[in-house]
Structure 1
């Protein structure tokens, strides 16, 4: 008789499985008229017009959690709201990787915070680079699985769509990877740019795979980068552990209020329209870049940016900066020594980028 496959809770650090965490004053579900339980000031700050800022916020506002769950297609108990996607990355690494012993797998080029958080936790970072082929960057899922097994990694981070690759990973391959690593590792799918992708979310895989976690954020398509509101979506047991590891008051009330306004039907309708425009501009920019002298390659993208390689990346960088356009320099990244990443702007901003880059070759002629 074969041994039962471990559940996702068995992947959590043993010392944290029953960890109670810090119970703040707002964690106690009690009601009253005179609140004297949190050592708050009884008087509002003169700058606080509606006299609400003196109170600590709800650690996990039920209305925000429900709105985000509806947006992403999960149940509220499967979702933890936090400070952007970054806090979700940090919580997952701290909860699953024992300091000095744990390991994670990443697929470079990718979002740098996975490795940063792992190193702070003294966890090893195992890299399985993406393949750079004719159709853009692709992931070798078999190599990722083998690396995770060899390193006994507890976390595999997949950025989809990738940053800076722009590649969206196929859900059947993600599901197969989760199946292979069941009881061994959690497969984390970072969908910060998911609104710009054409396929379904990895959230659709959660009910079949308890070792998948999905990261989402309101920073990109929803234009709330300064509010710092994101979510981890995963098995309810894992979410409960992550919440116990979270800081007592992660979500400032003004940010919650702003997020709730952004999740209202009128705001969501406007956001959807802008996503469509961004996708059209992205595809047009990529085609135009591919035909621009001096651009060696413009990669296909399912995100809100285009990664491009240049004959003279320094000249392109200098020209754009002289035009007042700031883009992202990836030349210090291994295998991207000639690459720059261009975020999709307004149609007028994108036209300025193209005009400037076309002028680089003319100036050199």
Structure 2
């Protein structure tokens, strides 16, 4: 048994899951095994969507594997990164007894999935030092060990901090917790970062899982396609815990088109434009009245502290600009998160904020 499988819930290690009609690898030209309609819907004249889709289409997995530079067997496609988070909690945490470690301020879905599953949420808060927020990896490891946590969720670049985590520290944590926890690195914003991906660590650390998404850099948030990438044995467990038909056929088609070589070239151009605008917006915001601090960011957003965040939020809304209010998160009582938009949209942000009194 692979060592990482020892971290999976004992009752799920040999769990076969539901075997749908599309799971069976059989051949034929008259398909009557899934109780699908024999006739196409009138609005789907070609019958493109009459049949259930393949749960994990090989062409899609191969395309995503090529995109991220990994083997297809390491890839599980799902309904956004959210499904990857949920599947990991479901597969590794015994309901009512398991625990996860998170590093607030961070993405809220880690705690939501854990609480819906009855798992404890253990916090090892980020520490604000120097230019931004940093992860206390020693504290994370100690809390994971003390609480017998099966999962550690790290967000890099962080949401909402925008800070990337050092790969050597991630690797050391995965090594220390090899028999204790699966370390999950959520790289939803990695395309906007200048630092290497944690995917480069997978060969050495079987208890490491990386989450990626096409929602941000690839502009496919509405398609809801995310990827969990990790040890083949663990990915197979997650696959057996997944819903029978997780990927709608139109979404599969959209991803295949969006990851074509020519489209990817345009995507890279869009990412470069966003990074340039991020720099411009950060410099301009730092000089805006009422702005206390703009944090460095490796993502497609900026975390900004204000002298009066309530006034800033209201002023932006009055100008028709909607940003994310972060004041409910610990240590961010004066902060807003501003997504980097187009040049014209960013100009509207700056124009509105010049009216916020210092």
TM range (shorter): over 0.9
Size of the aligned set, in residue pairs, is: 358
Alignment of 1:268-307 (within 5 A): 268-307=264-303
1:89 maps to 2:74: no
Residue 214 of structure 2 is matched in structure 1 by 218
1:124 maps to 2:108: no
Write the distance in 2 (CA, Å) between the matches of 1:68 and 1:202.
Answer: 16
Q: Is the 1:203–1:214 Cα contact (8 Å) retained in structure 2?
A: yes
* Gaps in structure 1 of 5+ consecutive residues: none
- After superposition, what is the alpha-carbon deviation per residue over 1:83-111, rounded to whole angstroms, capped at 9, x for unaligned? 00000000000000001111000000000
* Gaps in structure 2 of 5+ consecutive residues: none
- After superposition, what is the alpha-carbon deviation per residue over 1:283-338, rounded to whole angstroms, capped at 9, x for unaligned? 11111111111000011100000000101111111111111110000111111111
**Root mean square deviation, CA, Å:** 1.0
1:166 maps to 2:151: no
Residue 64 of structure 1 is matched in structure 2 by 60
Tell me the SS of whatever aligns to 2:53: coil
Write the distance in 2 (CA, Å) between the matches of 1:227 and 1:72.
Answer: 18
1:157 maps to 2:153: yes
Alignment of 1:78-117 (within 5 A): 78-117=74-113
Q: Is the 1:6–1:183 Cα contact (8 Å) retained in structure 2?
A: no
Q: Could you state the TM-score of these two structures normalised by the residue count of structure 1?
A: 0.97
Tell me the SS of whatever aligns to 2:43: coil
Write the distance in 2 (CA, Å) between the matches of 1:210 and 1:332.
Answer: 36
Residue 203 of structure 1 is matched in structure 2 by 199
Write the distance in 2 (CA, Å) between the matches of 1:194 and 1:81.
Answer: 17
Write the distance in 1 (CA, Å) between the matches of 2:87 and 2:93.
Answer: 10
Residue 323 of structure 1 is matched in structure 2 by 319
- After superposition, what is the alpha-carbon deviation per residue over 1:229-268, rounded to whole angstroms, capped at 9, x for unaligned? 1100000000000000000000000000000000001110
Write the distance in 1 (CA, Å) between the matches of 2:28 and 2:244.
Answer: 21
Structure 1 runs of 4+ with >6 Å offset: none
Alignment partner for residue 141 of structure 1, among 131, 134, 137? 137
Deviates more, 1:297-306 or 1:311-320: 311-320
Q: Is the 1:103–1:126 Cα contact (8 Å) retained in structure 2?
A: yes
1:310 maps to 2:281: no
Write the distance in 2 (CA, Å) between the matches of 1:323 and 1:50.
Answer: 46
Alignment partner for residue 180 of structure 1, among 176, 181, 205? 176
Write the distance in 2 (CA, Å) between the matches of 1:175 and 1:332.
Answer: 32
Question: Shift of the alpha carbon at 1:50?
Answer: 2.1
Q: Is the 2:327–2:334 Cα contact (8 Å) retained in structure 1?
A: yes
Q: Is the 1:187–1:212 Cα contact (8 Å) retained in structure 2?
A: yes
Write the distance in 2 (CA, Å) between the matches of 1:157 and 1:360.
Answer: 37
Tell me the SS of whatever aligns to 1:359: coil
Write the distance in 2 (CA, Å) between the matches of 1:324 and 1:158.
Answer: 33
Write the distance in 1 (CA, Å) between the matches of 2:263 and 2:27.
Answer: 32
Write the distance in 2 (CA, Å) between the matches of 1:51 and 1:228.
Answer: 23
Question: Shift of the alpha carbon at 1:49?
Answer: 2.9
Alignment partner for residue 32 of structure 1, among 22, 28, 32? 28
Residue 10 of structure 1 is matched in structure 2 by 6
Q: Is the 1:101–1:123 Cα contact (8 Å) retained in structure 2?
A: yes
Alignment of 1:220-299 (within 5 A): 220-299=216-295
Write the distance in 2 (CA, Å) between the matches of 1:156 and 1:183.
Answer: 13
Alignment partner for residue 355 of structure 1, among 348, 351, 356? 351
Write the distance in 2 (CA, Å) between the matches of 1:116 and 1:127.
Answer: 13
Q: Is the 2:2–2:233 Cα contact (8 Å) retained in structure 1?
A: no
Question: Shift of the alpha carbon at 1:145?
Answer: 0.4
